Amino acid sequence: MAALMKSPEAILKKAQAEIRGAVGNKDIVNEDDIQKLPYLKAIVKETFRLYPPALLSVPRQTLANCIINGHEIQFNSIVYTNVWAIGRELEYWENPNEFLPERCLNISVDMKGKDFQLIPFGAGRRGCPRYSLGLAMVEVGLASLLYSFDWELPFGIKKDDVDTQVLPGLTMPKKNDLPLPAKNLYA
């Protein structure tokens, strides 16, 4: 929501038009609806790229000496993958620090752990085993918020004032709350 509220209003409006068009007057968004919402899915993917909930992977231990990108890694080393930095790597992402959901429309890169430029659910045999459930929870949750409510910034707060700072830790909680007045369309 912070990334959306910081972005040009057209992104939020486009997502809401897509969701409301697909869900109609059904009053509730369910998992089947999500397959008809490519723009919503692109927003979620772009959000996971910029703000992966776990910015470092769970550590791994090497079983043998190896060389990665010219760096010698010794047997028995503990290795962390910086998922946050990979998502902002210029080699893979143009204007990497910008929130641009359009870039995630029609790309083959998915988040299941086989495309290493986007690994918010980790990768390999210890990658997240409930990837599909986690992703569905976020997609249905966000789609429901955008379907049922119109959102605006608190009085006196401008887009540039919305911060995306996070606190350090295993996951990335938002540092400062963003209170958003919501208008329920279906009340």
Nearer to ligand HEM, 101 or 120 (CB): 120
Residue 122: which of 64, 12, 48, 185 has the closest Cα? 48
* Residue 117, both tokens: 């430029």
Supply the minimum distance, in Å, between the C-beta of residue 106 and ligand HEM: 23
Nearer to ligand HEM, 38 or 127 (CB): 127
Which positions touch ligand HEM (CB under 6 A)? 53-54, 57-58, 120-124, 126-130, 133-134, 138
Supply the minimum distance, in Å, between the C-beta of residue 53 and ligand HEM: 4
Supply the minimum distance, in Å, between the C-beta of residue 134 and ligand HEM: 3
User: Which residue lies nearest ligand HEM, judged by its C-beta?
Assistant: 122
Nearer to ligand HEM, 138 or 153 (CB): 138
Nearer to ligand HEM, 8 or 141 (CB): 141
Residue 89 CA to residue 91 CA, distance in Å, equals 5
Structural contact between residues 141 and 2, judged by C-beta atoms closer than 8 angstroms? no
Structural contact between residues 39 and 105, judged by C-beta atoms closer than 8 angstroms? yes
Residue 162: which of 138, 179, 145, 141 has the closest Cα? 179
Structural contact between residues 152 and 181, judged by C-beta atoms closer than 8 angstroms? yes
Supply the minimum distance, in Å, between the C-beta of residue 131 and ligand HEM: 7
